[in-house]
Amino acid sequence: MNGPFALQMSRSQFAALTAELARRGDGRRESGAFLLSSTNVERPPGHKRTVVGFAFYDDLDPASLTGGITFGAIGYSALSAVCRAQDLCVVADIHTHPGSWVQQSAIDARHPMSAIPGHIAIIAPNYSQGSIRLRDLGLHVFHGDKTWESRYRNEVKEVLHLTGSYPFLRMAISALRSAFRAVHRSIKERGTLDVNARS
Ligand SMILES: [Zn+2]
């Protein structure tokens, strides 16, 4: 899906986001964040909204992680201050559920974190522990008037696009590089030793 609802973020952002949600939830409570996009980017019709940052619920409202999530007025004030100061706007939110269940609860569906049509509510399973893939998420597009359109499994990537290289690939490449450097160093050191031995 392109068009008004589609979002994009880099794979490394997505990996950082899901890891941070896991850390804040500590495997025993739900955690969440707003996904923010820049307001002063001209977006041609049909173009995806780019996620440029996150605002974690417990940074905005320190009392919000109660097992479930109770995000209060203090959090919304902090959120609008952040958005105003940095010319950002909320395009989506993400929160975690225990277990593999990524459908919205009745409370989730009745109380969108932003009531603007086109807002996207994402749910990550297992308190976001372990490696979370796009297909593990539930993605729910708000159409206003208590109406949501839900995407699961292969349909998630039609709305949320990940760009850039896979973080694990980058990690593997950087591990290879340091292995090469270590081999190179040891060859050089041995070379020096050999020269010394001959002199
Ligand atoms: Zn929920």
DSSP assignment of 2-42 equals: -GGG-EEEEHHHHHHHHHHHHHHHTTTS--EEEEEEETTS-
Amino acid identity of residue 33, one-letter, is A
According to the model, what pLDDT value does residue 188 have?
72
Residue 81 Cα, ligand 1 centroid: separation in angstroms? Answer: 25
DSSP state of 61: -
Residue 33 Cα, ligand 1 centroid: separation in angstroms? Answer: 12
Which tens digits make up the pLDDT trace of 77-103?
Answer: 999 999 999 999 999 999 999 999 999
Distance, CA of 173 to CA of 175 (rounded, Å): 5
According to the model, what pLDDT value does residue 42 have?
72
Residue 76 Cα, ligand 1 centroid: separation in angstroms? Answer: 18
More confident residue, 57 or 198: 57
Residue 54 Cα, ligand 1 centroid: separation in angstroms? Answer: 18
Which tens digits make up the pLDDT trace of 28-59?
Answer: 999 999 999 998 777 776 778 999 999 999 99
Residue 31 Cα, ligand 1 centroid: separation in angstroms? Answer: 10
Which tens digits make up the pLDDT trace of 104-157?
Answer: 999 999 999 999 999 999 999 999 999 999 999 999 999 999 999 999 999 999
More confident residue, 49 or 183: 49
Residue 87 Cα, ligand 1 centroid: separation in angstroms? Answer: 28
Residue 35 Cα, ligand 1 centroid: separation in angstroms? Answer: 16
Residue 191 Cα, ligand 1 centroid: separation in angstroms? Answer: 61
According to the model, what pLDDT value does residue 64 have?
97
The CATH T-level fold of domain 3-164 is: Cytidine Deaminase; domain 2 (3.40.140)
Residue 170 burial (10 A CB sphere; 0-12, 13-18, 19+) = middle
Query: In which band, very low, low, confident or very high, does the pLDDT at 172 lie, cut at 50, 70 and 90?
Result: low
Q: Where are the domains of the chain?
A: 3-164, 165-199
What is the C-alpha end-to-end distance of the chain, expressed in Å?
70
Q: In sequence order, what are the residues at sequence separation of 6 or more whose Cβ sits closer than 8 angstroms to the Cβ of residue 98? A: 30, 126, 127
Distance, CA of 94 to CA of 31 (rounded, Å): 8
Query: In which band, very low, low, confident or very high, does the pLDDT at 22 lie, cut at 50, 70 and 90?
Result: very high
According to the model, what pLDDT value does residue 199 have?
42
Distance, CA of 83 to CA of 160 (rounded, Å): 22
Q: Please, are residues 91 and 37 in contact by the beta-carbon 8 Å criterion? A: yes
The answer on pLDDT for 19 being more than 60 is yes
Residue 95 Cα, ligand 1 centroid: separation in angstroms? Answer: 7
pTM for the model: 0.82
Please name every residue paired with 37 in a beta bridge, in sequence order, or none if there are none.
Answer: 51, 89
